[in-house]
Copies of this chain bind each other. A is one copy, B any other.
């Protein structure tokens, strides 16, 4: 077992969102994405079986989906999506997001 203190171990970048690989195995990939206010992970998708969840650990922003759709995202919100379904994130305040992908891609 392995503990990671994300709020201490992973900060923010000025130019673009910052991603930090927490864990990768045959079962799952766990990544912490940190966004400064205004930064975003554009809508994207991969033609692969599997799902991911995005949990907002801190901050406020929007989940992004196909055709320009958006959903408010705040601390404690979780989005579950298929990997092949278009998804993205945009930060309004500085925002920390934990992403778990299974199976890992």
Contact = CB atoms under 8 A, between A and B. Distances in A.
Interface residues of A, number: 41
Contacts of A57: 55, 57, 75-76
This chain: copies in complex:
2
Q: Is the interface of A mostly helix, strand, loop or mixed?
A: strand
Given A87-B1, A102-B27, A103-B27, A76 B53 contact: no
Contacts of A6: 76-78
Given A100-B100, A100-B102, A53 B75 contact: no
Nearest to A24: B80
A51 interface: yes
The 3 A-B pairs of least Cβ separation, nearest first, read A102-B102, A7-B76, A1-B81
